[in-house]
Structure 1
Amino acid sequence: MQEMFEKLPEKFHVTNVQVATIWTNPQAPRPEDEKGISKPTDILHWITSLTYEQALALCDENLVQSQTLYGEPVIVLEESEEWAQIIAPFQASKKDTRGYPGYIPIKQLAPVTKKEWLQHQYSVVITDDAWLEEPEKGKTMQLSYLTILPYTGENDTHVYVQTPSGRQQIAKEKTAVVSGEAGFAPGSGTDIVTAMLPFIGLDYFWGGMSSFGYDCSGLAYAAHKANGYWIARDAGDQAAAGKEIAIDTIEPGDLLFFAYQEGKGTIHHVGIYQGEGKMLHSPQTGKGVEITPLQGTKYEKELCAARRYWR
């Protein structure tokens, strides 16, 4: 993980809201998206307030690309009025060799220096209901699972973290402290599956990269990130890397890819093989994260590839 931080320039920006959505262009947000582009954001309220048609349009009308979590670095390429053209360097993509591209409102970002953000240890949120707190004022922001912040110490009940607004704290039982040099301990295939079991039932959200709502490849990305593997952001890119696995030799934790035209067309979906002929996945708008059998479903017909990132 430290290697990823060290590749950043001396000055960069970090996400300064609980979740920043990466939009296709500054014109993409609609009136109903105000809670997602404000500061502070209210991602949970935004996601749950959208109608099925409004949520589906985020994909069908190519409005949203991805998301970044609080404290996640972004590189600002250009600023124009209220928007920043950015890349997200921790989200690999064929769209840009430097990271995932798109647009984020400038007010949702904060400038930092490498010196202040690089630490020997980092605090990682390991639950979906952790709160950032100011020591004297209480809760300030609900954080997503896998939010990573520089660790600056702890007491009996809380860890202290560096934020764009200064030192704050998170309840100790909600976090894990990892070495910047070693990063997350590499997990097994079973660990990859287990990491996402708490999110069964969580509503699908197009472009979602947080525990407020994942899309299919966002779920796969998070499952691997939690286990020390930083994979590409999108399903097509995920299918282009990793170790190729024959379909008849898949094991728990392997990624399964699905394509249109009964597996012969463009890849459009990814799931995590759970074992015993079932997969864990975030299926589509209007449905939640689920475990589903492959046999006798459309997924059995569309299954086209499997890849392994775990060791």
Structure 2
Amino acid sequence: MINQTFDQLWITAVQVATVWTSPISARTIDTPGITNPTNIDKWIDSLTYQTNVALCDENRVQSQLLYGEAVMITETKDDWAHIVVPTQPSKKDIRGYPGWVPIRQLIQVNKQDWQSETTAAVVDDKVWLESENGNNVLKLSFMTTLPVIDEGADRVKVNTPHGAGFLPKKSVTIFSSNNGLKKQEGHKLVKDGERYVGLDYFWGGMSSFGYDCSGFAYAMHKASGYQIPRDADDQADAGEKVPYDQLLPGDLLFFAYEEGKGKLHHVGFYYGDGKMLHSPQTGKGIEIIALHGTKYEKELCAATRYWQKAEEK
């Protein structure tokens, strides 16, 4: 069993770690996504439509972790760790989202060393973590967050799973670690989401290398200071219910089979003017569409709001 103490913290040590359903879920073609370091661009580019769809249809992938994201290890099996992710709320486990990751993609750090007064969050689509001399070390996703060590004129020195690194100051926002990112209004959620129009859907995706529908909703809320559940059905249950005639940009729309009466299967943002911003399905990119006359109009089953709810607290 991996040693885990109150003084130690397990964190993600690769740009994006995929959370798998079981230790046998990953295939040979998935190797670039289970190594350390990972090459997420190479992995996604190598997948055909069929091998991509299989991540969902064969129940292989659950979620993903960003560089530096903390986990709790609950069990180990060979070279794999069963973890829960406290930053991704889920009804599957009250402690956080559960699943399996290769142990090689995690590293143990001293909890005190990982704490800082301020945190840097990546606000660009992607950004290179740099060494002290300016060399590219690791390409990081939007909303990767790392503890701040020091602020310079052009770069921010951050603590990483591999020691000190540097991020361009223009590519991050710095916030109080105790207070979190500043809470924004709904229009900010869709403004952040607009930049990803055209980005290919990726099942289980929680990074700007590729989002699934609920991962997209989760990440845009995170960027505006809100922690929401990881999965669409949990997102529908936990948010403040909004009548359809009172929808505002940034609200979440939910869709179910059997013209809204069956199992919930999709989530998107209300964009305004009868439109939706969403990450639709494998083989398609994030898009803004008019709801009228589409299957989504018939399947609409709920709407929730997180940004207003959080502001009222």
Residue-by-residue CA offset, 1:226-248 (whole Å, 9 max, x unaligned):
00110000000000011111112
Residue-by-residue CA offset, 1:10-55 (whole Å, 9 max, x unaligned):
3221000000000000000001000000110000111121000000
What SS does structure 2 have at the residue aligned with 1:217?
helix
Matches within 5 A, 1:238-249: 238-249=235-246
**Residue 114 of structure 1, CA deviation:** 1.9
**Residue 161 of structure 1, CA deviation:** 0.3
> Structure 1 residues 134-143 or 263-272, which shifts more?
134-143
Equivalent residue in structure 2 for 1:64, among 52, 58, 61? 61
Equivalent residue in structure 1 for 2:296, among 278, 290, 299? 299
Equivalent residue in structure 2 for 1:172, among 154, 169, 173? 169
Match of 2:263 in 1: 266
Match of 1:94 in 2: 91
Structure 2: distance between partners of 1:135 and 1:45: 26
**Residue 132 of structure 1, CA deviation:** 0.5
Equivalent residue in structure 2 for 1:154, among 139, 151, 154? 151
Matched, 1:256 2:253: yes
Structure 2: distance between partners of 1:198 and 1:44: 18
AA in 2 matched with 1:71 = G
What SS does structure 1 have at the residue aligned with 2:238?
coil
Match of 1:235 in 2: 232
What SS does structure 2 have at the residue aligned with 1:143?
strand
What SS does structure 2 have at the residue aligned with 1:130?
strand
AA in 1 matched with 2:179 = A
Residue-by-residue CA offset, 1:117-156 (whole Å, 9 max, x unaligned):
1111001100012101111361110000000000011222
AA in 1 matched with 2:22 = N
What SS does structure 1 have at the residue aligned with 2:25?
coil
Query: Structure 2-normalised TM-score?
Result: 0.96
Equivalent residue in structure 2 for 1:206, among 192, 203, 206? 203
Aligned length: 304
AA in 1 matched with 2:31 = E
Identity %, equivalent residues = 54
Matches within 5 A, 1:279-298: 279-298=276-295
Structure 2: distance between partners of 1:251 and 1:155: 39
Match of 1:77 in 2: 74
Query: Structure 1-normalised TM-score?
Result: 0.96
Match of 1:47 in 2: 44
AA in 2 matched with 1:211 = S
Match of 1:216 in 2: 213
Structure 1: distance between partners of 2:137 and 2:226: 30
**Residue 196 of structure 1, CA deviation:** 0.9
Structure 1: distance between partners of 2:151 and 2:183: 25
AA in 2 matched with 1:84 = A
Match of 1:3 in 2: none
Structure 2: distance between partners of 1:17 and 1:94: 26
Match of 2:222 in 1: 225
What SS does structure 2 have at the residue aligned with 1:252?
coil
Task: Confirm or deny: 8 A CA contact 1:127 1:175 kept in the other structure.
Answer: yes
Residue-by-residue CA offset, 1:264-294 (whole Å, 9 max, x unaligned):
0110000000000001000000000000110
Structure 2: distance between partners of 1:177 and 1:263: 41
AA in 2 matched with 1:57 = A
Matches within 5 A, 1:105-124: 105-124=102-121
Give the superposed CA RMSD: 1.0
Structure 2: distance between partners of 1:276 and 1:9: 50
Match of 2:26 in 1: 29
Matched, 1:145 2:139: no
Q: Where in structure 2 are there 5+ consecutive unaligned residues?
A: 309-313
Equivalent residue in structure 2 for 1:127, among 124, 127, 132? 124
Residue-by-residue CA offset, 1:133-184 (whole Å, 9 max, x unaligned):
1113611100000000000112222100001111110111111111112211
